[in-house]
Structure 1
Amino acid sequence: MQEFIHKLKQAKRVAVLTGAGISQESGIPTFRGEGGLWKQYRAEELATPEAFRRDPQLVWEWYEWRKKICSEAKPNIAHLKLADWEKKFPEFHLFTQNVDGLHRRAGSQQVTSLHGDIFSARCTKCKYFLSDRDRFWDSLPPHCPSCGSLLRPHIVWFGESYFEGDLDFAFSFLKETDFLFVVGTSGSVGVPVQLAAFAKANGATTVEINPMPSGYQSMMDIQFSEKAGEFFSRIDI
């Protein structure tokens, strides 16, 4: 461990990729699998463009339920330590698959939210965009105050492309990163796995923190089979 910490302290560029596991320690369900059922619906049945076209009110009800859970959650020690890490390296960036905003609430500024932000909405027709953590809609589905069209959650749904520029930046940053930490993510989504493989292929030391087996294991140099909170509680750099 001492050799690992010594090498990490010498790093010039560090990247972190986080998934649902880090926020699960703050009480936010993963919303995947049986534990993520809502009114007998699975996330994969609701987080799609097709579901929104079919029943926008149902999809919005689910997101408002999730938003309440996220708004009541608080950043945990892993979120806070990562915010501190941002100050420790010449170059640092955090890529998260989570939409709960806990990294920013913990103080992180160099964050790319790959899958969007549950507290933001955008118009399905015009360029109207709203981001407000304290805003809960009086009636569902909400409509655009500018053009009257439906608003939708600012989320990357299954089958949709990532936001413009996010992946270009991610690959650019990871091309010359010294370390990539993969924290609490299962590897069930293809693009984050590609990002980790790209970093590994370009010489990064890859480190996984996850108490469960994942789709990243074959491309990891170092693995810590523990929760994010446990790992970051005992790592001091």
Structure 2
Amino acid sequence: MSSVARQMAGIPAADLQSFTEHLKSCRRIVALLGAGISASSGLPTFRGAGGLWRSFDATSLATPGAFKSNPGLVWQFYSYRRHMALQADPNKAHYALAELSRRNPDFITLSQNVDGAEHRLSQRAQHPAGQLHLLHGTLFDVKCTSFHCDYIRKDDYTDPLVPALDIPKKGMNFPSSAEKDSESDADAEPELDISNAQVPIPDLTPADLPQCPKCNGLLRPGVVWFGESLPSDTLDFVDNWIDEEPVDLIMVIGTSSKVWPAASYLHTARSAGARVAVINMDANDLAGRNLEPGDWFFQGDAAVIVPEILKSVIGEI
């Protein structure tokens, strides 16, 4: 039995049927995405960085204070993450959500990821840009750190951004989607090559790092770090969209919804009338534990589950 067949065999037929019936009647739909949706594209999660970054607490590198004290270290970490995202291909979950967006203008996608997965991969899957909203920014925007400078450069896919960030990539590669889907290792956890995990990370000065062309200040990744405010225009849009009319369905895909504001959107959408469908590999997922009668929990790989549960509306992907 193939890995896909094994996963689909685990979905109770009654749940799939009831979800399908509800989906066909839905107009206003929200999808809340986390890192789990891109696992099948070979992207490591934020806390799952590999190679020479395995010895670091990723959260300690995602703060304004960390960047102020050691911008070279932080930029090398984010350059690694940019590199990994650029190697990834869209998976069937990206294509399924893009197709649903094209068919339904009242469907919006909210992504918590900053690695560019939804932004870049969904672009390649032809996801309508106006229906995709990034809550935490993206690695592929850069902005100036100078207080009096407003320089922002969007959608910069240069790799590396500057020569000093061309750090060794050996030991940083995850299995490709094709490799993960092969029958021989279908049930295996991704293995990292950590052969150079002890390679010293170069000490870089601000002069080595990306510079602002407007004021010569230091550029930083265009992401929201711990302790920073999320983009108010995005939050306002989402709040207004949910408040406008009743919501029929929220799909929580590959995220435990622990971080604000994602943690509130499930409850806000439910208050606006939405039924909830959680898609996650982890049966103990927090969002899954907060379901109510009439909601759904589909356990498995989002790249397998999402196209299957949406098939009645979007067709075969």
**Normalising TM by the smaller chain, what interval?**
over 0.9
C-alpha displacement of 1:181? 0.4
| TM-score (norm. length: structure 2) | 0.71
Alignment map for 1:62-77 (pairs within 5 Å) = 62-77=77-92
Tell me how large the CA RMSD over aligned residues is.
Answer: 1.8
Bigger helix fraction: 2
16-25 or 82-91, which moves further after superposition? Answer: 82-91
Distance 1:37 1:166 in 2: 34
Secondary structure of the corresponding residue to residue 247 of structure 2: coil
2:133 corresponds to: 112
Contact 1:33 1:42 in 2 (8 A): no
- CA distance in 1: counterparts of 2:247 and 2:127, whole angstroms: 19
Largest Rg, 1 or 2: 2
Q: CA deviation at 1:63?
A: 0.5
SS at structure 1 position matched to 2:74: helix
Deviates more, 1:135-144 or 1:62-71: 135-144
Q: Letter of the aligned partner of 1:133 in structure 2?
A: Y
Q: Which amino acid in the other structure matches residue 142 of structure 1?
A: P
Counterpart for residue 37 of structure 2: 22
* TM-score calculated relative to the size of structure 1: 0.93
Segments of 5+ residues of structure 2 without an aligned counterpart are 1-15, 165-207
Structure 1 residues 90 and 64: alpha-carbon distance in aligned structure 2, compared to 1, 3 A threshold: closer
Q: Within 2, Cα distance between the matches of 1:10 and 1:90?
A: 15
Match of 2:201 in 1: none
Q: Tell me, in whole angstroms, the C-alpha distance in 2 between the residues paired with 1:209 and 1:232.
A: 8
Q: Which one scores higher on RCO, CA 8 angstroms, separation ≥ 6?
A: 2
Q: Does 1:91 align with 2:114?
A: no
Structure 1 Cα separation of the partners of residues 153 and 236 of structure 2? 25
Q: Deviations over 1:92-115 (max 9, x none)?
A: 110001122322222112110111
Q: State the Cα distance separating 1:208 from its structure 2 match.
A: 0.4
> After superposition, what is the alpha-carbon deviation per residue over 1:187-233, rounded to whole angstroms, capped at 9, x for unaligned?
23132011111111221111100121222121452111122112123
Any stretches of 5+ residues in structure 1 without a counterpart? none
Deviates more, 1:206-215 or 1:49-58: 206-215
* Structure 1 counterpart of 2:297: 223
Aligned to 2:150: 127
Please name the residue that 2:216 is paired with: 148
Match of 1:2, as an amino acid? Q
For the 8 Å contact 2:41–2:90, the answer to whether it is kept is: yes
**Which amino acid is the alignment partner of residue 160 of structure 2?**
F
Matched positions, count: 237
4+ residue runs over 6 A deviation: 34-37
2:73 to 46, 49, 58: 58
Q: Does 1:136 align with 2:151?
A: no
Match of 2:232, SS?
coil
Q: Provide closer, same or farther for how the CA distance between residues 6 and 88 of structure 1 changes in structure 2, counting only shifts above 3 A.
A: farther
Q: Select the structure that is richer in strand.
A: 1
Q: Which moved more, 1:76-85 or 1:121-130?
A: 121-130
Partner of 1:158: 226
Q: Indicate if the aligned counterparts of 2:43 and 2:84 stay in contact, CA closer than 8 A.
A: yes
